[in-house]
Structure 1
Amino acid sequence: MSEWNWKEYRKQKHQFRSYYCAGCRQRKPCGLLTNCVRDWQGYCCPCYFQREAEEAKEYADYQQVYQREAKEWQASIQQLKLLRDYPGCDKCGSKEVDGYDLLVNNKLVCRDCLIKKTGGRSSGALSWTEQQKWHQKHWGINISEWLDAYDCLPVNANCATKWLKDKQHLSNCACLELEAKELHELFTNSLREKEEKIKKCRCKASNKPRTPYYDYDNYGYTYCEKCEKRIKGAGKHGTIKNRNNPAFWGLNIPQKVLCGECLANYLKNMPTRKKYLFNEYVKRGYWK
């Protein structure tokens, strides 16, 4: 192994030893669930699984999924009608509209005028001509003719293919129900697979709470979870000091980081020996 490669190897090895989850900062990720997910490779398996479980809740009820898909389908048709009837900008004459305002606020905003107003910040451009080309290429239909003839559009590319082969497909189309069902099963099965896989998770948890922020000048800092007072961390290790950890004082409470003033409110709940130690810390001026 060359000298350069050896240095890189040592550097990567060091980074792994000091690398904690970007979310909770309490675990070193094992990568079991996140290795194949680029945006989540910096997170531990429990944090990633929690996010997946929350997202899957939106698709747990099939009826809700179907109603949402039907609403989005109708909205997309209405948006294309607005785009078709758009005469162009009154100021510059451009027929390109900002995609964000079209899709979210259901209104048409000239993209060129928006760029001039915001100094170059805009989402993707949309135009009726481009939409016609896209649907012709991917779905094989002329959306202008279909909107005039049927006042609606196919649900997806598969629906368009069936519609082209059978003109009566519209009367018994179940493509929207099928798409909602596939979406519901996709999230349900995916979450079930992750539930089985996470049982083999080997993420290594830190014994001490860690600071959520790190500053090389201030050696790490965090905030009290009650009064939000700034608390200095334990040097370069990215952890909080023992005296700010409620567990260190024998307290079984949800908070992981508290300042001295907030800890004093739990003094009566501390074991006797911890009460003496706490008062000793007060005399030494550790809470200033």
Structure 2
Amino acid sequence: MNANTNLSTKWLITGAGGLLGQELVTQLRAGGYAVLAADRKTLDITDAQAVTAFIKKHLPDVIINCAAYTAVDAAEQQNNAAFMANHMAVEHLATACTRMGGRLIQISTDYVFSGPLNRGWQERDPVAPLSVYGTSKLAGEQAVQVLGSNGLVVRTSWLFGRGNRHFPEVILRRALNGDSLRVVNDQTGCPTWAPDLANTLITLGIHMVEGRTLPPILHYSGSSALTWWQYAQVLVREAHTQGLLAAVPAITPVSSAEFGAKATRPQWSVLDCQQARDLGLTLSDWRAGLSQWLQERQG
């Protein structure tokens, strides 16, 4: 964080009860910033009138929207719920910012892309989501565009952190229970440690307040790519090294078709984060984050 930035800057974190939202609130408060932490009970961002009234009352300088419908498979049957949370809610926030000022950072996803590629996806590459979830998140990206320089979309991938609703927790819990492990080995992406993303989002918010020129869309993730199966292998080996697992369990690699998920995921969702590097941002050291998460999980 920039120590010279005015600490009177007011931040609104929507989805503050989630994995990323909690991390943002913790880091902002530790930095001495004024933070409005809004979970679903505090502010239902799918309610346009509630959003307008809340922002008019508090007039935040920067909004980071971490609220989202993230149940990728369930979204295939719950189209309306996905679009309400991932599109219309973002539109409500953007409209309120247009009327009353403020800046909006919208968190988006690698799932707006599809198909194979021989390099990482760049911000300017054509989007073609394969799922309802990806399509709804893309609609949310488009809703931010009305804000011009006061809006920013940050796409990230494979997020994990201090919580229990992410891939490492699911795999570790099953390994500890002695369950059989089958993990997809034909989808490739980059894990991202939530504290790293949170720190980066705060830096970007500060840049917006200071009037620095930023691209309308920015990619941010870990710097090394691997499949879900390879990721699971890294996890269980590190858990064994740290003494959480008595032995490294066998993990069976399977295809996406064999796994049988309801929603289609992109086989290649590696994000090219060169623009983030050009801004002086450090990409997520997800392996260090994974080690830290395992240590903290032991208590």
Could you tell me the TM-score, scaled by structure 2's length? 0.18
Which structure shows the bigger proportion of residues in helix conformation? Answer: 1
Could you tell me the TM-score, scaled by structure 1's length? 0.19
Structure whose alpha-carbon radius of gyration is higher: 1
